[in-house]
Amino acid sequence: MSQPSPYRPLQEKEIEVLTAQGCTALNWRQVEVLDGFHPAFVHHVHFSGPVRLGAFEAVSKEDTGIPRPVGLYHLTLYNVTIGSNVRISGVRDILANYVIEDGVWIEDVACLQCSGQSTFGNGTPACVVNENGRRAILLFERLSSQLAYLLAFYRHRPLLMERLKHLIEDAVEETKSPCGWIRKNARILHCGVLHDVCVGPSAQIEGAVLLENGTIRSDPSDPTHVGPGVIANDFILCEGSRVRNFVILRRCFVGQGTELSRSFTAQDSVFFANCSMGQGQAYSMFAGPFTVSQHKSTLLIAGLCSFFNAGSGTNQANHMYRLGPNQQGIFERGVKTGSGAFLAWPARIGAFSIVLGRHNEHFDTSDLPFSYIIEHPGENVLYPGQNLANIGLIRDQIKWRQRDVRKTPAKLDAVISDVMTPYIARKLKRGIQLLTDLLSRNPAGAESVRHQGLKICMPQRGLDLYRWALQQYLGRVLIRRLSSQKFISLIDLRDKLTGSVNLGEGDWVDCGGLIAPAAFLETLLFDIEEERIDTIAAVEVRLQSLFKNYAEYEWAWVKENLEAELGKAVRQWTIEDLLAILDNTRNASRQIVLAQTEDAKKEFESVMQIGYGIDDPEQFASEDFAAVCGTLEQDPIIQTFQSQLDQENKTIEQLTEKLKALQ
């Protein structure tokens, strides 16, 4: 049995008051109101088509401390439902085909109109990674970095693509509506045209020029902001995103906590959690979590990246003037480029590497992470593992955790921000094997070797750094495992170390910022292909379960590798085996810490004090430098770094005593 409508027709006295206040209607009978409606709050409004109005009370909205009364003023309405205590004033053309919820404020807008059946940006194809469109993904408001990764990079599985497309189309169909909506307490102030745009609760839109065919998701705990000068067509903005200061977007997805500003321009691109982009350009980019580009002269094109930092003037070439822009490139997680860096696609840069200079050769350094790739006259030079000795690596991991600004309870992207993971450790193992093979084919003590058109300098140093980093990582995960378990005997300890899952063993992948066991991902993809998973929500649940249980999967991988290193299964480990791992971890950490500390000292050398003590540098440079930059010991990154190391050493000592007590 249907519920009676809470709306009632206007009373004659109300119509008289409205008419006296400059209001007109094609048919007053099509105007309905809730009890509590007061015509005193409606002035110079023209009603056409069915219109429903909420209750108005003597309350006001405030902007910069100036109160404004609720109500409707100077606008034309067509087929709208307006909630209670709304203020809408000065819509210069028309407000048509919208549902506007309680507490909304719309002021000084050229036009707000839905043209009919619309999906509000959902279902828009964006040609990410490859400009030829053969990796195009459908944008929709529940798109996560992980799902986008599967859509873009698993084209070799046509059945999977077909099933995912079907699931997304089902989700898109649910967004289709003949009316747009403006959710509770949203603000739209001093804007141009909004056409086929849906706006989430508490969103703030101020000064936008043109918003067309889009969805602005928002949450009261994490409002979305759209600011002055923005032009966006065919777009999705997610909770907590900030798009402002003359940004231009076309066919783009902007993830949670992402900021686009200062005339940034993007087309056919996706930006996931906590990206920060300003002034430059992006075309066909898959910008995974924590991608940063802040320079006017930077162009990112046809590639994949995450945890990426683009230096000024970074650029790529994605076609060879033959068959069009078919080339693409990959920056694995954590890559940085220096000012003026250039890469000719196709190329693949290993994780946490630094690229300096121009590189026209096509190379793949994915098995040589943490490297410096430098332009030398006539050749490309790579220093393997050198970034492991860079104190900036510690700073990056600290800042990523601090810069996760997402506040909404429902986080779309599952992000593992650790530098060291099974995915990276696998890369270290491959790097060790590669450098070992290259050194075996060259004279003993060779200062450089050749590989894939690269001159690899200081290969033995790189080999040592890789071994220390791998040893440190395996030991640190074991330390976390031992610290989190209570055990009373060696047998009890072996049981606890055995773990509850084995799915983490084998290969791992970086699935759009989520570090995942390849076996887990394969099972998920197979279940999608076999229609065991029949909604996008179910895919999200599986991915989130991996994220929540990451530590268990990580331990399974580390356990497998420690077993291989010791040549025995966990249930055969002795106290001496565990003590040896702890000692090796301490020694490996000591070597890496020594290298990173020496690197940090460079920031305080006399050559870095040029420009300080400006009027009398010989006398005051060091004092002026110390007043502005502090000392090595006072640096907050060094202090955090040292605190973590002290805690690690203390934990190792405590575990050593605890293990010895079991003997």
As given in the structure block, the two tokens for residue 29 are 């009978």
Q: Which residue has the tokens 């048919």?
A: 27
Residue 4 DSSP code: P
- The answer, yes or no, to whether residue 1 has pLDDT greater than 60, is no
Residue 102 and residue 52 in contact, taking contact as beta carbons nearer than 8 Å:
no
CA angle 274, 280, 284 (to 5 degrees): 75
The per-residue pLDDT for 323 is 65
Residue range 177-220, pLDDT digits in tens: 999 999 999 999 999 999 999 999 999 999 999 999 999 999 99
The per-residue pLDDT for 2 is 60
Residue range 349-389, pLDDT digits in tens: 999 999 999 998 899 999 999 999 999 887 899 999 999 99
The per-residue pLDDT for 391 is 82
The per-residue pLDDT for 337 is 96
Report the pLDDT averaged over residues 130-159: 95
Residue range 214-255, pLDDT digits in tens: 999 999 999 999 999 999 999 999 999 999 999 999 999 999
Tell me how far apart the alpha carbons of residues 55 and 41 are, in angstroms, rounded to a whole number.
10
The per-residue pLDDT for 646 is 85
Name, in order, each residue with C-beta under 8 angstroms of 95's C-beta and a sequence gap of 6 or more. Answer: 75, 76, 77, 78, 80, 88, 106, 111, 112, 113
The per-residue pLDDT for 320 is 63
Compute the 3-state secondary structure of the chain and give helix, strand, coil in percent, each to the nearest 5.
Answer: 35, 30, 35
Tell me how far apart the alpha carbons of residues 265 and 281 are, in angstroms, rounded to a whole number.
5
Mean of pLDDT over the chain: 92
- The answer, yes or no, to whether residue 25 has pLDDT greater than 70, is yes
The per-residue pLDDT for 321 is 58
Tell me how far apart the alpha carbons of residues 37 and 56 are, in angstroms, rounded to a whole number.
5
Per-residue pLDDT band at 156 (split at 50, 70, 90): very high
Per-residue pLDDT band at 640 (split at 50, 70, 90): confident
| pTM of full prediction above 0.85 | yes
Residue 39 and residue 56 in contact, taking contact as beta carbons nearer than 8 Å:
no
Tell me how far apart the alpha carbons of residues 308 and 400 are, in angstroms, rounded to a whole number.
11
Pairing relation of β-strands 454-457 and 448-451?
antiparallel
Distances (CA, A) of 556 to 81, 103, 432, 481, 561: 56, 52, 22, 11, 9
On the question of a cis peptide bond just before residue 346, with omega within 30 degrees of 0, the verdict is yes
Report the pLDDT averaged over residues 530-558: 94
The per-residue pLDDT for 422 is 97
Torsion of CA 468, 469, 471, 476, to 10 degrees: 130
The per-residue pLDDT for 485 is 84
Residue range 93-123, pLDDT digits in tens: 999 999 999 999 999 999 999 998 999 999 9
Radius of gyration of the chain (CA): 30
Residue range 334-357, pLDDT digits in tens: 999 999 999 999 999 999 999 999
Q: Is the dihedral of CA 446, 447, 450, 456 positive or negative?
A: positive
